[in-house]
Structure 1
Amino acid sequence: MQEQKLYGRRDGAVGHLVFNNPAKLNAVSLDMWDSFVSILKDFDADPEIRCLVVSGAGGKAFVSGADISKFESERANAEAQVRYDAISKEGYESLYNFSKPTIAKITGYCIGGGMNLAACCDLRYSNEGARFGVPAAKLGLGYGFLRIERFSRIVGLPRAMEFLFTAKQYSSKEAYDMGLVHGVAADAELDAMVDGITGAIAQNAPLTIALAKAAAREIAKPESKQDHKKLEKMAVACFDSEDFKEGRRAFMEKRKPMFKGR
């Protein structure tokens, strides 16, 4: 039986989306994007899932980009590229707009499309051997505005330009120093680092976290398009929630709160 190149699994309140194509350093082909969107929709609709971790199997790569061996069949000309972009864009936007916190757990190569995926996540953690790069200039690819804008918001426009102009790879230390990743750990300690983050998120109030994430997404928009009324309604819902009552009671009773997301 052929293994799935992309799969989702649950670990308590944490959803995991795993790129499972280690023979090709978890390179992504067109057929993987449909599964990607479907898995995200399932996790987003599940009230028991509090956050999502995106990772790559095999230990050598998070995602090494698009599967170049499929370029002749999937991206051979401008028309084919338009189709590919539309399908992959749906995947990236589904991850970016996922309503719960998303964490990229990066081991090894995080290149091209892998960088796009990581940039769509809220938090990013890597092992010490991780490598980061955008090799579009070495392949003659056109890099879309949205990808450059999103990446620039994380590392700053000057650093993003260096990535794109030179197509060089950067170490995990360099990535940490520029704010691309939130933390770096030894191989044996990365899982524990990420588990600590997901554990903290999972025990906190889901409505409050949803508001924080929604606010972050609105902040990223031009001011004229920001929906402040939506955020105000979400804030009111927090104060009217069972979780707010539980939080107050738990504080007074000196115990950990048991939040339900309502």
Structure 2
Amino acid sequence: MTSDQSPSQSEDTNPFLCVSGQIAELILNAPDRKNALPLAGWARIPELLEPLRDNAGLRALIVRGAGGKAFCAGADIAEFEAVRSTADKAAHYDAVNVAAFRALKTLPVPVVAAIEGPCLGGGLGLALACDLRIASDTAFFSIPAARLGLAYPPDAVADLIEAVSPSNAKKLLFTAERLSADNALQIGLIDEVHEAGALDDRISELCRHFEQNAPLSLKAAKTTINLLASASAAADLSAAQTMARTCVDSADYAEGCRAFLEKRKPVFKGR
């Protein structure tokens, strides 16, 4: 694709946007870190997508990871001690995450996640904010928040429950288990699985459908379905948000981050 915006020749690991005709691609651009996003990368996503809202010729957005080996390993945990060390900082971090999710979910056109390799934590949150999740058989999925002593953002949990049953959502969050692409398909976490070499062909096929179908019909369908889905989840999330802040204030969270950086199992004490 021809890039309207592309990374500089420096060590820019923030996402960038490519637009070719009626199709745009959002590229998560940190392949050396399995496309884990720093805080600046999360903040960049709504900035990149905002101009697309006024692009009358746009038919779809594809979200994929750079390098062809990973979709997104989630947040860059190495920076947590600096940017997520207190409840207030964590609340700001989650707000930036949620803004990225909402930017994808509210984009008027179809948004498709093309998933290869790891799709973890916040990376899975990005995929869940997309309208369709099309995966390679190399893909695998997990929400490791409980291993870090964190709470998954309530907005992301709402998107998770739109995709899978409440019991499967609980299982993913309680266990932090890794799911294969086939297992993810079985519970509805993703929509399709293809052999690694066939993923791009399937994405291209979907884009042809989007280009051939009536743009206003696609936009109306997306808006209507999102409104109907969110209406059933219009709960007061203040208690969940309070519990999320409690997690970040806990000794367990500090232990979870240290254990991750020290490559050992955390010892949680529930306080």
Q: Fold conserved (TM > 0.5)? A: yes
Cα distance in 1, alignment partners of residues 191 and 19 from structure 2: 24
Q: 1:35 maps to which residue?
A: 44
Which residue, 85, 91, 95 being the options, matches 2:104?
95
Cα distance in 2, alignment partners of residues 34 and 141 from structure 1: 20
Instruction: Please say which of residues 204-213 and 29-38 is displaced more in the overlay.
Output: 29-38
Q: Which runs of 5+ in 2 are unaligned?
A: 1-8, 235-271
Equivalence map 1:160-171=2 (5 Å) = 160-171=169-180
Which residue, 78, 83, 87 being the options, matches 1:74?
83
- Partner amino acid for 2:143? V
Q: What displacement does 1:85 show?
A: 1.5
Q: Does 1:210 align with 2:216?
A: no
- Partner amino acid for 2:10? Q
Dislocated runs of 4+, deviation >4 Å: none
Q: What displacement does 1:172 show?
A: 0.4
Cα distance in 2, alignment partners of residues 155 and 166 from structure 1: 15
Give the share of equivalent positions with the same residue, in percent.
34
Equivalence map 1:1-262=2 (5 Å) = 1-5=9-13, 6-222=15-231
Cα distance in 2, alignment partners of residues 90 and 121 from structure 1: 13
Q: What displacement does 1:33 show?
A: 2.3
Instruction: Please say which of residues 215-224 and 158-167 is displaced more in the overlay.
Output: 215-224
Q: What displacement does 1:129 show?
A: 1.0
The secondary structure found in structure 2 opposite 1:8 is strand
**Larger Rg computed on CA atoms:** 1
RMSD, aligned CA: 1.5
Q: Under a length normalisation based on structure 2, what TM-score does the superposition of the two structures give? A: 0.80
The secondary structure found in structure 2 opposite 1:220 is helix
Q: What displacement does 1:222 show?
A: 2.4
The secondary structure found in structure 1 opposite 2:103 is helix
Q: What displacement does 1:224 show?
A: 11
- Partner amino acid for 1:63? C
Q: Under a length normalisation based on structure 1, what TM-score does the superposition of the two structures give? A: 0.83
Instruction: Please say which of residues 142-151 and 51-60 is displaced more in the overlay.
Output: 142-151
Cα distance in 1, alignment partners of residues 185 and 97 from structure 2: 27
Q: 1:252 maps to which residue?
A: none
2:98–2:153 Cα contact (<8 Å) kept: no
- Partner amino acid for 1:116? G
The secondary structure found in structure 1 opposite 2:230 is coil
Cα distance in 2, alignment partners of residues 14 and 129 from structure 1: 25
1:152-186 CA-to-partner distances (Å, cap 9, x unmatched) read: 12111111111001101000001111122111111
Q: What displacement does 1:60 show?
A: 2.1
Q: What displacement does 1:32 show?
A: 1.1
